[in-house]
Amino acid sequence: MILVALLLFGAVGYVGAITFGEPDGDNHPHVGTLLFVQNGVGFFSCTGTLLSPKVMLTAGHCTEEFGNTNDITYVRFDEDTFEGIGDFATLQDWLDDSWMLAKKVIPHPQYDDFSAFPQTIDVGLVILRKPVSAKHTGCCRPKVCWRTYSRKQGIPQIGGRRWAMECRAF
């Protein structure tokens, strides 16, 4: 029983270690913050990564709850998410000035609020109304990767064959 408790604590401690990370300057300008309302409750917050100037990848639970897509979703790419909040008379004024209102959120069609755990397909997209500036999209060219057989030396052997990972931007 003690061993199980230690293993569980270790797993929870590790998961907690990647939550609420430290800002890293402009090292990841294509990563943004989402603020959203689900089923009349919120704001909740998640992060997402730009796949193109108008499309962000995020978690499915950040786009819907109980089969209902978000009531409203805002996106921002500033390192200090709450910068300027005290400069406005109302929260809505701040959101209108400093955040982008998303056009649409799309959960994966098979995402079902973790009902098929552990295979949750917890993936979603955020479609932006306007393209994001090049500052935020310059480093995020999605790539498709696949394994290829190679006769080159120095490629690790798997099952007696030499496999390499080949990636190409699209």
Distance of CA 11 to the CA centre of its chain: 22
| Residue corresponding to tokens 């498709």 | 144
Q: Return the closest-CA partner of residue 70 out of 120, 95, 107.
A: 107
Domains in the chain, number: 2
pLDDT at 142: 45
**How many helices (DSSP H) and strands (DSSP E) are in the chain?**
3, 11
52 and 35 in a single domain? The answer is yes
pLDDT at 12: 33
102 and 164 in a single domain? The answer is no
Residue 110 lies in a domain: yes
pLDDT at 19: 46
CA dist., res. 119 & res. 115, Å (int): 9
72-84, pLDDT tens digit by residue? 999 998 888 889 9
Radius of gyration of the chain from its Cα atoms, rounded to whole angstroms: 20
pLDDT at 35: 95
Neighbouring residues of 69: CB distance < 8 A, sequence distance ≥ 6? 63, 105, 106, 107
Q: Exposed, middle or buried by CB within 10 Å (0-12, 13-18, 19+), for 128? A: buried
pLDDT at 144: 44
pLDDT at 158: 46
145 and 129 in a single domain? The answer is no
CATH number for 132: 2.40.10.10
150 and 130 in a single domain? The answer is no
Residue 24 lies in a domain: no
Is there a contact between 105 and 69 (Cβ–Cβ < 8 Å)?
yes
Residues 80, 134, 131, 69: what is their CA dihedral angle, to the nearest 10 degrees?
-50
Which residues of the chain are modeled with pLDDT < 50? 1-19, 138-150, 155-170
170 and 107 in a single domain? The answer is no
User: Quick count: other Cβ atoms within 10 Å of Cβ 103?
Assistant: 12
CA dist., res. 60 & res. 110, Å (int): 10
42-78, pLDDT tens digit by residue? 899 999 999 989 999 999 999 999 999 999 999 998 8
Which residues form the domain of 88? Answer: 29-139
